[in-house]
Amino acid sequence: MGTPHNDAEVGQIAPCVLMPGDPKRAAKIAADFLTDATLVSDVRGIPCYTGLYHGEPMSVMASGMGLPSISIYATELYRFYGVKRIARVGTCGAYLDDVHVQDVVIISAAHTDSDVPNRLAPGMTCSLAPDPQMLRAAMNQADALTGARVHVGPCLSSDYFYRDNASIAPRMIELRTMAVEMESAGLYACALEEGAAALAVVTVSDHLRHAESLSAAQREDCYRAMVDIAGAALLA
């Protein structure tokens, strides 16, 4: 069995999946965090690895960029491969002054300029939020970490990377929106529709209002706290 975007056999993907956007980051997470990691799918250059995380089966699969891309991979994992939980681990831009580069944000709700909520229930706006058990476990793990600054709050999941934020950012800041990225709302919508669980945990790679940013190399390496938090949420 397979799908147009995944050639793993049923049973080769674990019930819990860590999902970064970048295929190279997926390979690095699998190498750094999984024991006996095996490549089980690599369709269109999007790899999926399965191994053990703290002795429990876990997979790492990239999602690509944007709501449409993560929606494809998350839906297929939930619907055809029996995946129960997905934790997005990626990067974001910060809006608020008290959120800094290299901080971690546990995303408690996802606003979006996408049409995703309207398609879930025409005529209504659905709330896009994580699984409460995963959120609680992530917050508990964050409390146990030392040397990491962790925030909990909403993000904006945007369809537009290069869109002018001049009119959007002030309103997001007024609403205490912590960060902007491009995937979490899509993941939360898929979990809602498929009756499954999801959580997004992201690392701040740049600040939308200040001259703070990580290099491409730093973005690859600055993720241990984020993966520790997401991994704990998946195993809760």
- CA torsion, ordered 112, 21, 101, 98, to nearest 10 deg: 30
Is residue 129 within 8 Å of residue 188, measured between CB atoms? yes
Largest CA distance in the chain: 49
Residues 75 and 72: their CA atoms lie apart, in Å, by 5
| Catalytic residue list contains 36 | no
Q: Which residues contact 47 (CB under 8 A, 6 or more apart)?
A: 23, 26, 27, 30, 39, 41, 61, 62
Residue position matching structure tokens 């799918």: 41
Please identify which of the residues 7, 42, 159, 206 carries the catalytic annotation. Answer: 206
Is residue 138 within 8 Å of residue 167, measured between CB atoms? no
Considering only CA atoms, give the Rg of the chain. Answer: 17
Is residue 91 within 8 Å of residue 83, measured between CB atoms? no
Q: What is residue 211's DSSP assignment?
A: S
**What are the phi and psi torsion angles at 81 (to 5°)?**
-115, 5
Tokens of 9: 């056999």
**What are the phi and psi torsion angles at 122 (to 5°)?**
-50, 135
**Among all residues, which ones are annotated catalytic?**
206
